[in-house]
A and B are shown apart, each in its own frame.
Chain A
């Protein structure tokens, strides 16, 4: 048996351990993960002021002045990404390859579903923390995070790597690249390019003698002709929630609509373009399965790619699933083309831009390594490796590379459709706007509201969001 004294001592020890643990836990969000003492950066970290010298491009074996000596220990950097083949698997592959090539660097990957990832990064931004060194970032957050001082401007690194930067600028569509520029600074670089594509069952269209529709009116007519439920529906798409907004946008933008005026922020949802797009979706929905009211991306994949009940998915976000035989049973029967335009000449075609970029936390202890990793990811010579590992590149040369096209045949259509893509509004409020529009479109599809009423309500709610954020003055 323990004596009273030793019992007291034991409990005191437990108490001290618990307290230390709690204090350490509380301190974690604002302090960097404690690497060995030898790897601590200099007292005046240069994180927010990248060196003018091209040290960033040097492999870490020749460390830059701002970094601790290579032999002092391994530099550990965390990258936060999204779950899923296109994101997590690609990030892990690139991180592993980089780590292999740089014995003194360890890039650790943390992947979360999109909402969780946004929340985690948002919390880090709010706490002015440095939980992550590299951030997989949706372009709409660039402005908010940059204003909060969370993202490192990459301008000096780009100047120092002028040749590489020039090559990238020439190989990525300007509208894709420019999404990562904010207030004349570069806060990210696109590592993943995307827009909407037209997936269709070539065998079904051929058998019915239907040519690939090039306008929305033709799409509606084709859907009517191909519709033979429950075996085959004329059309599939995302009609649920914010996914419905993405579908609607491909018509709305093409018809000249704007979510809000870029200068005044006055919403333009309740407009002729908005009404045309919502009404067209209602008409198209007649030839889609009723359950499509609850469909998002994954449901279209399973119903078109494996169950085989959809003839066309005319405005679907680009992705490998439907054309990859290991992911979709009917992949060999599915072809990819250009999203329909409003007019027959294809002049009225503007698509919403997707894709992602990589940003650097301004508080990272290793900004040079972080930039070097981004450079490694985006380098021309590493794009085939990226594609082999389920990545979706932003570089046009990679999207049209015959080697890559064998792995991902839809890249050709991706490259073609990207020509017509424009960014969705590059402010954080858009994330709320797409939810609001999606919900109001659902109300139209469910017959709860007329198109006019739903668009009016969406306009008013989006206005409230903009007023609350201070971008618009209340009427």
Chain B
């Protein structure tokens, strides 16, 4: 082997070892475990190979956790679509409005304050909203009551609970889309708006023909990042609803948790995680293919 090659491999090796130990090995082990049965409540039974049984149980039967994979997937997709639509739409509107306003001290303070929800750990956000959503002493129903709205059972009504989860997610992650869109708008050369104004383009035409095409790439990246995040969604659900009432808000991530850490069926729980991983990869491929186009296709201006 060439001297430079040895040096190259030597330089790479710490990173490679870490990658193998912390990335590749756990993944391979998880895949191996997903074809095995291991119950932590009764470890004396040991680990035994079960072929595709874990996957077939999850996909085609109602597992012990009491919710089927399609039902969990449906809950996850409702949260995913609801959150993404609201976060992107409101984030975009806010970014456009703020970008058109002169940069006063108040505005800078407003921008900074928008960051706060994003800085709080999701588990804390969930716990905080659990109190805020309390019909008896929570702030939200109290304020709604002042304007004559009857108490809403945010987290105990199965017909409302998913709206609550979406609202909490939007509250926390709206600043992210807002900041990304704002940065994108600031990156648009001002000459384009000036030229458009000279040509007689109004506010909405400038948005339609300049702002939105420029932000298309960023929107794709936002959808990708938040989409993956929402499929894995666990911490807010854990602390806010615990997948309930019943299993009304048991997303895929939470169902995997229930399998592994409530029923302690680690093999089946890992199979759940592998399925989520496959799903995320499929969605990433779709997002990457259709939402994040190649560079030359985008900056049309």
Binding site for B on A (CB under 8 A): 4, 8, 11-12, 14-15, 18-19, 22, 115-116, 118-119, 122-123, 125-126, 141, 144-145, 147-148, 150, 230, 240-241, 289-294, 296, 303, 307, 309, 428-429, 431-432, 435-436, 439-440, 442-443, 445-446, 448, 461, 464-465, 469-470
Tell me whether B66 and A429 are in contact (CB under 8 A).
no
Would A303 and B136 count as touching, CB distance under 8 A? yes
Map CB proximity to A onto B247-274 as digits: 1 under 8 Å, 0 otherwise. 1100000000000111110000000000
B136 touches A289 (CB 8 A): yes
Tally of chain B residues near chain A (CB < 8 A): 43
Instruction: Give residues in B with beta carbon < 8 Å to A.
Output: 7, 10-11, 13-14, 17-18, 21, 38-47, 64-66, 134-137, 151, 153, 155-158, 241-242, 244-248, 260-264
Chain B residues with CB below 8 A from A292, complex form: 156
Of A8, A125, A145, the residue contacting B7 (CB under 8 A) is A8
Residues of A within 8 A of B246 (CB): 439, 442-443, 445-446, 448
Which of the residues B38, B44, B157, B263 comes within 8 Å of A435, measured between beta carbons? B263
Expressed in whole angstroms, the minimum distance between the Cβ of A305 and any Cβ of chain B is: 12
With both beta carbons as reference points, the residue of chain A lying nearest to B12 in the complex is identified as A11
Whose C-beta in chain A lies nearest to the C-beta of B154?
A291
Q: How far is the CA of A431 from the CA of B65 in the complex (A)?
A: 12
A446 touches B245 (CB 8 A): yes
Give chain A's interface secondary structure class.
helix
Is A442's CB under 8 angstroms from B245's CB?
yes
Pick from B40, B151, B242: contact of A230, CB below 8 A. B151
Contacts of A429 in B (CB 8 A): 41-42
Chosen A-B contacts, 12 in total, with CB atoms closer than 8 Å, are: A15-B17, A144-B43, A145-B44, A240-B245, A290-B135, A291-B136, A291-B155, A294-B242, A294-B244, A429-B42, A443-B66, A461-B64
Pairs A-B, 8 closest by C-beta atoms: A122-B40, A428-B41, A148-B44, A126-B43, A439-B66, A442-B246, A125-B43, A147-B44
Task: Name 18 extra pairs, CB < 8 A, besides A8-B10, A22-B21, A470-B45.
Answer: A15-B17, A123-B40, A230-B136, A240-B244, A290-B153, A291-B135, A296-B242, A307-B136, A309-B137, A432-B64, A432-B263, A435-B263, A439-B65, A440-B66, A446-B158, A446-B248, A461-B66, A469-B45
Interchain CB contact under 8 A, B157 and A290: yes
Nearest CB in chain B: distance from A267 CB, A? 14
- Cβ contact within 8 Å between B242 and A18: no
Which residues of the other chain, A, contact B244 by a CB distance below 8 angstroms?
240-241, 293-294, 442
Closest B residue to A114 using CB positions: B261
* Contact call A115/B262, Cβ cutoff below 8 A: yes
Q: Is the CB of A118 within 8 A of B264?
A: yes
How far is A18 from B13 in the complex, measured between Cα atoms in Å? 10
Please report the C-alpha to C-alpha distance between residue A439 and residue B68 in the assembled complex, in whole angstroms.
13
Contact in complex: A18, B18 (CB < 8 Å): yes
Contact (Cβ within 8 A) A240 B242: yes
Contact A241 B155 (CB under 8 A): no
Query: Within the assembled complex, what's the spacing in Å between the Cα atoms of A116 and B42?
Result: 16
Q: Choose one: B14, B65, B151, B157; the contact of A18 (CB below 8 Å).
A: B14
Tell whether, in the assembled complex, residue B17 and residue A294 are in contact, meaning their CB atoms are under 8 Å apart. Answer: no
B53 CB to closest chain A CB (Å) equals 10
Q: What separation, in Å, do the CA atoms of A290 and B14 have in the docked complex?
A: 56
A143 CA / B156 CA spacing, docked (Å): 37
* B42 & A293 in contact (Cβ 8 Å cutoff): no
Contact among A22, A118, A432, A446 with B17 in the assembled complex (CB-CB below 8 Å) = A22
